[in-house]
Amino acid sequence: MSAIPPPATRDSVLFVTLDSCRYDTFAAADLPHMKGVGPLHCAQAPSYFTYGSHAAMFVGFTPGVGGLPRAFLNPKFAKVFKLSHAGFSVEEPAYALDGPTVVEGFRRLGFLTVGTGAVGWFDPDTDAGQALIRPFDRFRYIDTGRGGIEAQVAFVGEQLDGCAGDAFVFINAGETHVPYYHNGAPWDPDDNPCVPFQEQDRAAECRARQAACCAFVDAALAPLIERFRGSTILITSDHGDCWGEDGLWEHGVSHPATLTVPLVLRIRGEPVAA
């Protein structure tokens, strides 16, 4: 029988992005573990494609609820992560950091920084991927074809074994990205129901498959969420997808469907409500 891992420290952080996950998908899906982190908020992403959104989040501009004067839900009011030289906010952040990125800021504070990404923007064999992952102490690119979220969670667990101090953990889950496939799903992984400029309306398939993928990720994340329950947990999406709205499909275009994302937040063990 395997030993139960120790809980993360109070200041530790688990930061999860469900790549391309729409707000309405998350809201409708059965996600007991992720929704158990705190109340669900309808937020606006900083960009409409993976690299742009993660680059913004890695300097402290996480998705937020505009116009709401609530710390951490509205980064303009108070950021979760704030670099000393970047961005105005009314109140103090949850984490004040120094460095070119949030990840480097946590490293300078002595945190173990662990990351894993599932979509091509995190591929270490590309210059763009290196720009995103370079600051991490340990990072692994694991796409959905090579184990997906289950392998990512296993990798994170291995890196945390023996870590008695603070940790910053980042996971980019790829199952919710087109073609919306998870291990064992009863549909063809090569069948993409969301292709830019397509004329066939496959929105219903997109919705059902992304919801199933979201539930699959939720189950896989359960042990990590429990481990970080007394710590900071931020679960969101980098952007959404268009499913035929205004004749648009997929992402990479600025549209309400690509900019509206879920946000669930817990700061040092306390759920953040509106």
What is residue 88's predicted lDDT score, i.e. its pLDDT? Answer: 77
Compute the distance between CA of residue 169 and CA of residue 13 in angstroms, rounded to an integer. 6
Mean pLDDT of the chain: 95
Q: Is a pLDDT exceeding 80 seen at residue 12?
A: yes
Q: Classify residue 272 as exposed, middle or buried by CB count within 10 Å of its CB (0-12, 13-18, 19+).
A: buried
Q: How confident is the model at residue 90 (pLDDT cuts 50, 70, 90)?
A: confident
Classify 20-271 by CATH class. Answer: alpha beta
Closest listed residue to residue 208, CA positions, set 237, 186, 224? 186
CA distances in angstroms from 124 to 14, 174, 228, listed in the order given: 22, 16, 27
Q: What's the whole-number mean pLDDT along residues 200-223?
A: 98
In degrees, to the nearest 5, what angle opens at C-alpha 158 toward C-alphas 137 and 19?
70
Q: Is a pLDDT exceeding 80 seen at residue 196?
A: yes
Instruction: Give the model confidence (pLDDT) of 255-264 as tens digits.
Output: 999 999 999 9
Q: How many CA within 13 A on the CB side of residue 67?
A: 3
Q: How confident is the model at residue 191 (pLDDT cuts 50, 70, 90)?
A: very high
What is residue 143's predicted lDDT score, i.e. its pLDDT? Answer: 85
Compute the distance between CA of residue 44 and CA of residue 114 in angstroms, rounded to an integer. 26
Q: Is a pLDDT exceeding 50 seen at residue 169?
A: yes
Instruction: Give the model confidence (pLDDT) of 39-67 as tens digits.
Output: 999 999 999 999 999 999 999 999 999 98
Q: What's the whole-number mean pLDDT along residues 25-36?
A: 98
CA distances in angstroms from 100 to 94, 135, 261, listed in the order given: 18, 9, 26
Whether omega for the bond prior to residue 179 falls within 30 degrees of 0, making it cis, is: yes
Q: Is the dihedral of CA 98, 99, 103, 109 positive or negative?
A: negative
What is residue 1's predicted lDDT score, i.e. its pLDDT? Answer: 43
What is residue 2's predicted lDDT score, i.e. its pLDDT? Answer: 54
204, amino acid identity? A
- Please count the residues of the chain: 274
Instruction: Give the model confidence (pLDDT) of 216-249 as tens digits.
Output: 999 999 999 999 999 999 999 999 999 999 999 9
What is residue 137's predicted lDDT score, i.e. its pLDDT? Answer: 97
What is residue 269's predicted lDDT score, i.e. its pLDDT? Answer: 98
Residue, of 91 and 86, whose pLDDT is higher: 91
